[in-house]
Amino acid sequence: MAGAFLSNKIIEQVLFFGASRAYLIDPKEIPITWKASLLCLDCNVSKNFLMKRWSCPPYSPLLEKTKKILSDYNDALVVNIEAKFWPLTNHSYNTLNPFYQIAQKIFCHYYWRKLHFIMLQMKWYLSQEYDVFSWGSSPCHGCFKCSYPFRCRKSKLFLFSPEASGIDLYSLAKRLGLPIEIPPRNKIQLLSLLVFCKK
């Protein structure tokens, strides 16, 4: 694991980039399960993007590949954004009003994209001295719209979805003691992670 001074430096940097909290943990502590990947089937239920994004199944790493990635690195950085709902965005749990649904979608995509670019910034920052593998936030938010089925337009901004890779973010958040609301009424907790080791 990274030393105390280095750990503090990494935590300070990710907070500077805009994270609410950050944790350095052993990659072996990261929960992997097929249940996380199955959440991606929700895209099929809502007739959304199943198999239409390069960051999602079946293009994302399978569980065995994810386990191999985690075993190849010494440290994991878990990054959290805590976002309070904007006005009109905290009613999706008690209404089907399309206006509220659209407002919440805009809210979620704003913060998913913010976390995606925090992960990219940390990946580039740590890559100066470390080998790094990073995940994004939900599906990839490197582009406004994925170029699928054509080649990725911005491969340097591309990150896989952690859930699609089998990483159980809900269990990880519980282990870290993050205050999760179900259903969320006042704020949401977004989570992503990267792993790294000395070159």
Res 186: pLDDT: 84
**Portion of the chain with pLDDT greater than 90, in percent:** 49
Could you tell me how far CA 34 lies from the centroid of its own chain?
Answer: 17
d(C-alpha 42, C-alpha 57), whole Å: 12
- Region 188-194: what's the mean pLDDT? 94
Q: Are strands 75-84 and 21-25 parallel, antiparallel or unpaired?
A: antiparallel
pLDDT tens-digit map of 11-49: 999 999 999 999 999 999 999 998 877 777 666 544 554
Res 109: pLDDT: 87
Res 195: pLDDT: 98
Q: Is 182 helix (H, G, I), strand (E, B) or coil?
A: coil
List strand residue ranges (DSSP E) for 127-168, in order.
Answer: 130-134
Could you state, in order of their start, the residue ranges of all structural domains in the chain?
4-86+114-198
Q: Scanning the structure block, which residue is given the tokens 């293009």?
A: 59
Res 42: pLDDT: 62
Buried b / exposed e over 97-135, threshold 16 CB at 10 Å, is eeebeebbeebbeebbbbbbbbbbbbbebbeeebebbbb
Res 45: pLDDT: 46
Whole-model pTM: value is 0.88
Could you tell me how far CA 196 lies from the centroid of its own chain?
Answer: 16
Average per-residue pLDDT for the chain: 85
* Stronger pLDDT, 146 or 107, i.e. the higher one: 107
Res 60: pLDDT: 82
- Region 167-188: what's the mean pLDDT? 87
pLDDT tens-digit map of 110-145: 999 999 999 999 999 999 999 999 999 888 787 778
